Amino acid sequence: MSEVGSACGVCSQCSKEICRPRPADLAVCDCWEYCRICGRRMDVFTPDLSPGSYEKDDMYVVRICTHHTPPYKSKLKPVEVRLS
């Protein structure tokens, strides 16, 4: 017998509360897609040059916000939130 209502949890990265209809027990927070500086949704980072032309840490960059100088480079990945 499944429970009625919604299940909620808190993201460990941004502290946002996420609620989903039951029987969900897991959700993915979208905070990793947004810039920590301006709050805009970032673009997917896709290198277009040879690996030697990037900084050492750029190979771990997942998203980039080009609304800043220098651009904000995010290495965050999706965060799973356990719901209860």
- 17-51 confidence digits (pLDDT tens): 999 999 999 999 999 999 999 999 999 998 776 76
Whether residue 47 is contained in a domain is answered as yes
Number of domains in the chain: 1
Whether residue 1 is contained in a domain is answered as no
| Domain around 10 | 6-81
Is residue 72 within 8 A of residue 35, CB to CB? The reply is: yes
Q: Can you give the pLDDT at residue 6?
A: 93
Per-residue confidence band for 3, with pLDDT thresholds at 50, 70 and 90:
low
Q: Give the dihedral of Cα atoms 4, 13, 55, 63; nearest 10 deg.
A: 40
A 10 A CB-CB count for 46 gives 7
- Model confidence pLDDT, tens digit, residues 57-66: 777 889 999 9
